[in-house]
Amino acid sequence: MGSSVGTADGVGGADGTDRPDGDDRTNAYDSPDGDDRTDANHAPNGNGRTDANHAPDGAYRSDAYDAPDGADLSDEAGEVRLFWEGLGLPGLVDVHTHFMPERVLKKVWEYFDALGPLTGGVEWPITYRAEERERVGLLREFGVRAFTAMLYPHKPGMAEWLNQWAVEFAGRTPDCLHTATLFPEPGVAAYVQKAVDEGARVFKAHVQVGAYDPADELLDPAWGLLAEAGIPVVIHCGSGPSPGKHTGPDPIGRVLARHPRLRLVFAHMGMPEYEDFLGLAERFGEVRLDTTMAFTDFSEQFAPFPRRALPRLADLGDRILLGTDFPNIPYPYVHQLRALEGLGLGDEWLRAVCHDNGAWLFGL
C-alpha cells in the first residue's frame, strides 16, 4: 500500500491518535410541512447495464432480494463473507448506505420503478427492496460491522427533522454509525453542534440534490466546527449522475482552502471527475474518497474510471473507504466487492479499503 499526503498538524483518527504508517433534479424527501418530492439522485444520465453484473459463478443476481415475498439470500451472504474472510478480515465497514424515514425511501423506489428522467430510461431494479428491519438484518448477514444512514435535505428547514430521525435510528441500530446532515441556512451551526453533542459520528452533505454552494458563508461555521471535532463528512459533490450548478472540484476546493483539516469523504470517488478529486486528496491530507458504485460494470458504462489513475488510487490506499449505496443498487452487493478486487491493487489495498481504513477512522 502506498503512502499518503499527511497534514501538517498530524490529525489522527477517532481516538485522537496519528494514523499508523442547469439542474435537472427531483427530490425524495417528505419535509415536515408535507412537501413530498421524489428523488433519483443516484441514477445515471447515460446507459447502464444491469445485465452485466454477475456473481463469480456467472449467475446474474438481480433477484438477490425480492421483498415482500423474499428470496434465499444465503448464497449471496456466503459470497460476501467468503470475500472478507479470504482477506483475513473480521468483516466490512461500509460508509455509504442509505437509511431514512420509510415513506421517503419508498418514494425513491417508486421513482426508479417509473424510470424517472435521471435514470436515463434504463431499468434500475432495486436489488434490496425490503423493510428497514430486513435491510439491517441483511447487512449483518453480510458481515458488515458498521454502516451509515446517509440522508440529506433538499431545502431549508429539513435537516433538523432528518437529524432527529437519525438519532432514533442510531438508538435502535447500534451497528449504524450515527449519521447527521446539514444545509446552508440560518442556525446551521447550532443544530450541527447539537448533533455532535448527541453523538453524531459522520455527516452527509449532498451538493447536487441540495443545489447549494458548499462554500456558502452560512456553512462556514459548521465546516469549522466539524473540522475541529474531526468528524467525517461524506459529501456528494461530483457531477455524476447529472451536473449541478455547484458540483465539481472547484466549489468544494474553496471549502478545503479555508478548512484544510476538514475530513471530507468524496462520495462515488468524485464520479465522473475522478482525477480532479484524487488531486484534492493528494493536496489535503484529511480528504478521503468512497468507492460507492465506482468501478462496477453498471457505472463503467457511463463514467469509466481512467486506468491511468490506478497508481494514484494505489498511493491513496489508506484514504479510500468502502461505500456501496445499499440498498438502492441495481446489482448485488457482492459485485461492488468483486469490482474492487478486479482493479488488481492487491490484498493489502483491499483489506485497507474494505475494513481497516473505516475501522481506524471511526475508532472501531
HSE value, Cβ hemisphere, 13 Å, CA-based, for 191: 22
Q: Which three cell numbers stand for residue 53?
A: 453484473
Closest-CA residue to 99 (of 21, 30, 174, 165): 165
135 CB-near residues (< 8 Å, 6+ apart): 99, 128, 326, 327
* Cα separation, 165 vs 33, whole angstroms: 16
Q: Tell me the torsion sign for CA atoms 102, 107, 108, 109.
A: positive
Q: pTM of the prediction?
A: 0.81
Would you write out the chain's pLDDT as a tens digit for each of its 364 residues? 333 222 223 334 544 434 333 333 333 333 333 333 333 333 333 333 333 333 333 322 333 333 323 434 458 999 999 999 999 999 999 999 999 999 888 877 787 778 655 555 667 788 999 999 999 999 999 999 999 999 989 899 999 999 999 999 999 999 999 999 999 999 999 999 999 999 999 999 999 889 999 999 999 999 999 999 999 999 999 998 888 899 999 999 999 999 999 999 999 999 999 999 999 999 999 999 999 999 999 999 989 999 999 999 999 999 999 999 999 999 999 999 999 999 999 999 999 999 999 999 999 9
